[in-house]
Homo-oligomer: A and B are copies of this chain.
Amino acid sequence: MAESYRLTASQALSLMQKGDLTVEDYAKSLLGRVNARDNTVKAWAYLDPDFVLAQAKKLDEIPAEKRGPLHGIAIGVKDVILTKDMPTCHNSPIYKGEGPSLVDAAPIITLRAAGALIFGKTTTTEFASTVEGGPSTNPHDSGRTPGGSSSGSGAAVGDYQVPISLGTQTGGSTIRPGSFNGIYALKPTWGAISREGLAQYSMTCDTLGLYARSVEDLELISKVFQLSDDEPIPSTSFPIKGSKIAFCKTHVWGKAGPGTKAAWEKAQELLRREGASVEEIDLPEDFEKIEQWHANVLAGEGRTSFLGNYLLAKDKLHHSIQNHVENSTNLSRKAQLESYDGCAILRPVWDEIAGKYDAIFTPSVVDEAPVGIESTGDASFCSMWTILQVPCLNIPGFAGENGLPVGLTLVGARYHDLHVLHAGKAIGEVFGKEGGFKHKLY
């Protein structure tokens, strides 16, 4: 199937299971798409088509009964995640030209064991820690950023070059590219997926993120990673009708641009029309402090995380990374610890609030992707949820003033990842049909 690149992972898997598609043909189709679009989108930091095809052929040789749940599914991997057969360069001049890492990050071990085809490495900002973009562009408008720091992973899935990719999030690095590229993005509960073998910026915030063009695909991957809530997930669809849905602007709302504001109104209208009870909620006052606490934790932990590379080659590090190591904000240990402890107190408070609703929405981004690829954008609407360590799902469907995609985030209580996906699947169908953005093939 020449155009199998258009399929979601679940669709491709189904064809492969029926014997209607080989991994090799699937890989050829994806590589064809990459070939057609890479000059524009530039999502890949490393991609070796011959190696991809060789791996695909090996997967085709595995007898049906020994195939894993992700057999042959192509996955793009952010270039801050170790892969034993590909280099990991962190978009850093220090690691430019490295050979294969010879070590797989824990999530890669899991994905390979499930039969995935590790396709290539996707672009990132330097050590997934800056907002300095390039060379990747937004597949919907090459004059705009795909967001970051998981730039290539967001763009590659948004552009149908792979069905699934891995990102990371420390501020808003998974959710923002999700919104900018018009795709689903899941930042799971902190700790729900191993982060062994990922570049470290903030131990408290760093989380592996997942991209796909359907919730079904995210559910597929979540099953492989054995995400699990305490409460079983019904096998029936999430009933929007009669559900209690909250919208939480947060104290950052003042930054919301017209695209996000319009999506906000439209989403409420659609959900009400579907029979949901919708209300806007305010968080307790202390939650306003989280923005500063998040900045403090990143400063305190970045100071430690980047020390080695600083000592190795200070001049090759982005000034923001140098600043972290030099503690340029003069952050005290006391302020760092108060930030930890303050967030820790609010985590169960949030969980309790979340428990009162069937779904809670919050903005994903300030607005549609801004013009230019120099900056990957603003994480303001995400950082609170990252340090609260709660599951966040970007649901695409809306369009900004320039027709670029805008998403909203469905946010849940800690370790309610599957619930968030379940609710997001039903709601995402509504947003996708009537939100105003249509995912096109360029």
Binding site for B on A (CB under 8 A): 82, 88, 98-104, 106-110, 112-114, 190-196, 199-200, 203-204, 225-226, 228-230, 300-301, 303-305, 307-309, 311-312, 325, 332-334, 336-337, 340-341, 344-345, 347-348, 351, 414-415
From B101, B190, B194, B336, A305 is in contact (CB under 8 Å) with: B194
Nearest CB of B to A431, in Å: 28
Output the nearest chain B residue to A192 by Cβ-Cβ distance: B304
Alpha-carbon distance between A88 and B109 when the two chains are bound, in angstroms: 16
Q: How many copies does the complex hold?
A: 2
Hey, which chain B residues are within 8 Å of A304, CB to CB?
191-194
Complex Cα distance, B331 from A217, in Å, reads 27
Contact partners of A332 in chain B: CB under 8 A:
230
Q: Are B103 and A194 in contact (CB under 8 A)?
A: no
A337 and B333 in contact, given A109-B309, A309-B109 (Cβ under 8 angstroms): no
Bound form: Cα–Cα A113–B226 in Å: 39
Known: A101-B103, A230-B333. A196 touches B305 (CB 8 A): yes
- The CA of A307 and the CA of B197, in the complex, are separated in Å by 14
Cα–Cα distance between A300 and B228 once the two chains are bound (Å): 11
- Collect the chain B residues with CB atoms within 8 Å of residue A345's CB: 344-345
Q: Which of B114, B192, B228, B336 contacts A311 (CB 8 A)?
A: B114
Q: Which residues of B contact A112 (CB under 8 A)?
A: 312
| Chain B hits for A106, CB < 8 A | 200, 305, 307-309
Question: By the criterion CB–CB under 8 Å, are B312 and A113 in contact?
Answer: yes
Residues of B close to A230: CB separation below 8 A: 332-334
Closest B residue, CB atoms, query A333? B415
* Chain B residue, CB-CB nearest to A225: B307
